[in-house]
Amino acid sequence: MTLANVTPSGGSTSDPFSRRDALPPDALAWYALRTRHQREFRVREQLADFQLEHFLPVYAATVRWSDREKQIERLFFPGYIFARCPERLARRAPLFLDFVMETLSLDGAPLVIPPEQIDALKRAIASRLAVECCPYVAGSMVRVKSGPLAGITGVVQRIAGETRITIGIEFLRRAISVQIDAADLEAADLEPADHKA
Protein backbone atom coordinates (compact mmCIF):
# COMPACT_ATOMS: atom_id res chain seq x y z
CA MET A 1 0.00 0.00 0.00
CA THR A 2 1.36 3.43 -0.92
CA LEU A 3 0.23 6.94 -0.20
CA ALA A 4 0.32 7.75 -3.91
CA ASN A 5 -3.08 6.10 -4.19
CA VAL A 6 -4.75 7.87 -1.28
CA THR A 7 -7.12 10.80 -1.70
CA PRO A 8 -9.91 12.11 0.51
CA SER A 9 -12.42 10.60 -1.88
CA GLY A 10 -10.63 7.23 -2.01
CA GLY A 11 -9.59 7.56 -5.67
CA SER A 12 -6.12 7.82 -7.19
CA THR A 13 -4.12 10.96 -7.80
CA SER A 14 -1.10 12.06 -9.75
CA ASP A 15 -0.35 14.87 -7.30
CA PRO A 16 3.39 14.47 -6.52
CA PHE A 17 2.88 15.93 -3.05
CA SER A 18 0.83 12.88 -2.08
CA ARG A 19 3.99 10.78 -2.51
CA ARG A 20 6.37 10.68 0.43
CA ASP A 21 9.40 9.93 -1.77
CA ALA A 22 8.71 12.94 -4.05
CA LEU A 23 9.51 15.42 -1.28
CA PRO A 24 13.02 16.46 -0.23
CA PRO A 25 14.13 15.05 3.14
CA ASP A 26 14.00 18.46 4.83
CA ALA A 27 10.24 18.57 4.20
CA LEU A 28 9.70 15.71 6.66
CA ALA A 29 8.80 16.51 10.26
CA TRP A 30 7.38 14.79 13.33
CA TYR A 31 3.69 15.28 14.13
CA ALA A 32 1.48 14.01 16.96
CA LEU A 33 -1.66 12.11 15.94
CA ARG A 34 -4.50 11.67 18.43
CA THR A 35 -6.10 8.25 18.11
CA ARG A 36 -9.38 6.71 19.12
CA HIS A 37 -9.43 4.90 22.45
CA GLN A 38 -7.23 1.80 22.44
CA ARG A 39 -6.50 2.06 18.72
CA GLU A 40 -2.87 3.19 18.96
CA PHE A 41 -1.49 -0.18 17.84
CA ARG A 42 -3.86 -0.33 14.86
CA VAL A 43 -2.68 3.10 13.74
CA ARG A 44 0.92 1.91 14.10
CA GLU A 45 0.12 -0.96 11.76
CA GLN A 46 -1.43 1.38 9.21
CA LEU A 47 1.53 3.76 9.31
CA ALA A 48 3.82 0.80 8.71
CA ASP A 49 1.65 -0.28 5.77
CA PHE A 50 2.05 3.21 4.29
CA GLN A 51 5.80 3.01 4.91
CA LEU A 52 5.74 6.14 7.04
CA GLU A 53 8.25 6.49 9.84
CA HIS A 54 6.47 6.44 13.18
CA PHE A 55 7.06 6.16 16.90
CA LEU A 56 4.73 4.71 19.51
CA PRO A 57 6.33 5.02 22.99
CA VAL A 58 5.76 1.67 24.73
CA TYR A 59 7.27 -0.44 27.47
CA ALA A 60 7.16 -4.16 28.20
CA ALA A 61 4.94 -5.31 31.03
CA THR A 62 4.23 -8.76 32.41
CA VAL A 63 0.62 -9.86 32.81
CA ARG A 64 0.10 -12.83 35.11
CA TRP A 65 -2.74 -15.32 35.04
CA SER A 66 -3.24 -18.25 37.37
CA ASP A 67 -1.52 -20.66 35.00
CA ARG A 68 0.85 -18.47 32.99
CA GLU A 69 2.30 -15.04 32.37
CA LYS A 70 2.72 -13.03 29.19
CA GLN A 71 4.80 -10.07 28.05
CA ILE A 72 2.73 -7.29 26.50
CA GLU A 73 3.32 -3.73 25.34
CA ARG A 74 1.86 -0.88 27.35
CA LEU A 75 1.69 2.76 26.33
CA PHE A 76 3.60 5.64 27.84
CA PHE A 77 1.29 8.21 26.18
CA PRO A 78 -2.15 6.61 25.67
CA GLY A 79 -4.09 8.17 22.82
CA TYR A 80 -1.10 9.43 20.83
CA ILE A 81 1.33 8.23 18.20
CA PHE A 82 4.00 10.20 16.35
CA ALA A 83 4.51 10.16 12.58
CA ARG A 84 7.29 11.68 10.48
CA CYS A 85 5.89 12.92 7.19
CA PRO A 86 5.29 16.03 5.06
CA GLU A 87 2.86 18.58 6.47
CA ARG A 88 0.38 17.84 3.69
CA LEU A 89 0.04 14.24 4.85
CA ALA A 90 -0.13 15.30 8.49
CA ARG A 91 -3.14 17.46 7.65
CA ARG A 92 -4.84 14.53 5.90
CA ALA A 93 -4.01 11.86 8.48
CA PRO A 94 -7.61 11.62 9.80
CA LEU A 95 -8.76 10.94 6.23
CA PHE A 96 -6.53 7.99 5.36
CA LEU A 97 -5.86 6.53 8.83
CA ASP A 98 -8.99 4.84 10.15
CA PHE A 99 -8.53 5.48 13.85
CA VAL A 100 -6.87 8.91 13.89
CA MET A 101 -9.15 11.65 15.22
CA GLU A 102 -6.88 14.60 14.57
CA THR A 103 -3.37 15.84 13.98
CA LEU A 104 -2.48 18.14 16.85
CA SER A 105 -2.36 21.67 15.51
CA LEU A 106 -1.69 25.23 16.57
CA ASP A 107 -3.46 28.16 14.90
CA GLY A 108 -4.79 25.83 12.21
CA ALA A 109 -1.42 24.35 11.24
CA PRO A 110 -0.11 20.89 12.24
CA LEU A 111 2.28 21.36 15.13
CA VAL A 112 5.82 20.15 14.48
CA ILE A 113 7.28 18.15 17.36
CA PRO A 114 10.99 19.03 17.77
CA PRO A 115 13.01 16.03 16.57
CA GLU A 116 15.31 16.25 19.59
CA GLN A 117 12.31 15.55 21.86
CA ILE A 118 11.43 12.44 19.86
CA ASP A 119 15.08 11.33 19.86
CA ALA A 120 15.35 11.83 23.63
CA LEU A 121 12.26 9.68 24.22
CA LYS A 122 13.54 6.95 21.91
CA ARG A 123 16.94 6.85 23.57
CA ALA A 124 15.50 6.86 27.09
CA ILE A 125 13.13 3.99 26.35
CA ALA A 126 15.86 1.99 24.59
CA SER A 127 18.42 2.61 27.35
CA ARG A 128 17.15 -0.16 29.68
CA LEU A 129 17.34 2.33 32.54
CA ALA A 130 14.43 2.62 34.98
CA VAL A 131 11.82 4.55 32.96
CA GLU A 132 8.30 5.40 34.09
CA CYS A 133 5.43 7.75 33.26
CA CYS A 134 5.32 10.99 35.21
CA PRO A 135 3.55 14.37 35.15
CA TYR A 136 5.03 16.96 32.82
CA VAL A 137 7.05 19.45 34.86
CA ALA A 138 8.74 22.75 34.07
CA GLY A 139 11.98 23.84 35.67
CA SER A 140 15.68 24.41 35.20
CA MET A 141 17.07 22.25 32.45
CA VAL A 142 19.99 19.87 32.91
CA ARG A 143 22.04 17.93 30.38
CA VAL A 144 23.24 14.35 30.69
CA LYS A 145 27.00 14.56 30.21
CA SER A 146 27.89 10.87 30.22
CA GLY A 147 26.34 7.43 29.96
CA PRO A 148 23.77 6.04 27.49
CA LEU A 149 21.72 9.28 27.54
CA ALA A 150 24.66 11.65 26.99
CA GLY A 151 23.53 14.90 25.36
CA ILE A 152 19.86 14.62 26.34
CA THR A 153 18.33 17.53 28.24
CA GLY A 154 15.48 17.48 30.74
CA VAL A 155 14.32 18.61 34.16
CA VAL A 156 15.99 17.01 37.19
CA GLN A 157 13.88 15.83 40.13
CA ARG A 158 14.45 14.01 43.40
CA ILE A 159 11.74 11.39 43.89
CA ALA A 160 11.78 9.01 46.86
CA GLY A 161 15.49 9.57 47.29
CA GLU A 162 16.27 8.90 43.60
CA THR A 163 17.64 11.33 41.05
CA ARG A 164 15.48 11.28 37.91
CA ILE A 165 15.53 13.32 34.72
CA THR A 166 12.15 14.16 33.19
CA ILE A 167 11.93 14.04 29.39
CA GLY A 168 8.75 15.02 27.62
CA ILE A 169 6.81 16.43 24.70
CA GLU A 170 6.15 20.01 25.71
CA PHE A 171 3.04 20.59 23.60
CA LEU A 172 1.40 17.35 24.82
CA ARG A 173 2.34 18.03 28.45
CA ARG A 174 3.27 14.35 28.68
CA ALA A 175 6.56 13.02 30.01
CA ILE A 176 8.59 10.10 31.23
CA SER A 177 11.25 10.08 33.92
CA VAL A 178 14.49 8.12 33.97
CA GLN A 179 16.51 7.17 37.02
CA ILE A 180 20.04 8.50 36.62
CA ASP A 181 23.23 9.13 38.57
CA ALA A 182 23.37 12.78 39.65
CA ALA A 183 27.09 12.79 38.78
CA ASP A 184 26.13 12.34 35.11
CA LEU A 185 24.26 15.69 35.01
CA GLU A 186 25.31 19.28 34.36
CA ALA A 187 23.45 22.55 33.91
CA ALA A 188 22.05 22.71 30.37
CA ASP A 189 23.23 26.29 29.89
CA LEU A 190 26.84 25.11 30.19
CA GLU A 191 28.79 24.23 27.08
CA PRO A 192 29.01 20.43 26.76
CA ALA A 193 32.24 19.08 28.22
CA ASP A 194 33.49 17.60 24.94
CA HIS A 195 33.12 20.98 23.20
CA LYS A 196 34.89 23.11 25.78
CA ALA A 197 38.09 24.80 24.76
For 127-177, the pLDDT digits (tens) are 989 999 999 988 889 999 999 999 999 999 988 889 999 999 998 999 999
Give the Cβ contact number of residue 183 at 10 Å.
Answer: 10
Answer yes or no: do 139 and 81 share one domain: no
Answer yes or no: do 119 and 109 share one domain: no
Answer yes or no: do 100 and 170 share one domain: no
Answer yes or no: do 161 and 136 share one domain: yes
Alpha-carbon distance of 84 to 48, in angstroms, equals 12
pTM: 0.81
- The domain total for the chain is 2
Answer yes or no: do 97 and 10 share one domain: yes
Alpha-carbon distance of 38 to 99, in angstroms, equals 9
* List of residues 6+ apart from 29 with CB closer than 8 A: 84, 85, 86, 87, 90, 112, 113, 115
Q: How far is CA 87 from CA 18, 28, 123, in A?
A: 10, 7, 25
Lowest mean pLDDT among 53-57, 105-109, 176-180: 105-109
* List of residues 6+ apart from 139 with CB closer than 8 A: 155, 156, 157
The reported pLDDT for the residue numbered 191 is: 60
Answer yes or no: do 102 and 29 share one domain: yes
pLDDT above 90 as % of the chain: 66
Alpha-carbon distance of 98 to 36, in angstroms, equals 9
Among 113, 136, 162, where does a domain finish? 113
The reported pLDDT for the residue numbered 68 is: 85
Answer yes or no: do 7 and 53 share one domain: yes
Alpha-carbon distance of 179 to 60, in angstroms, equals 17
Name residue 32's amino acid.
Answer: A
Question: pLDDT tens across 19-46, in order?
Answer: 344 345 458 999 999 999 999 999 999 9
Answer yes or no: do 109 and 119 share one domain: no
Answer yes or no: do 122 and 160 share one domain: yes
The reported pLDDT for the residue numbered 18 is: 37
Give the range of the structural domain holding residue 14, as residue numbers without chain letter.
3-113
Answer yes or no: do 98 and 186 share one domain: no
Among 93, 113, 133, where does a domain finish? 113
| CATH number of the domain that residue 86 is part of | 3.30.70.940
Among 45, 78, 113, where does a domain finish? 113
Answer yes or no: do 168 and 85 share one domain: no
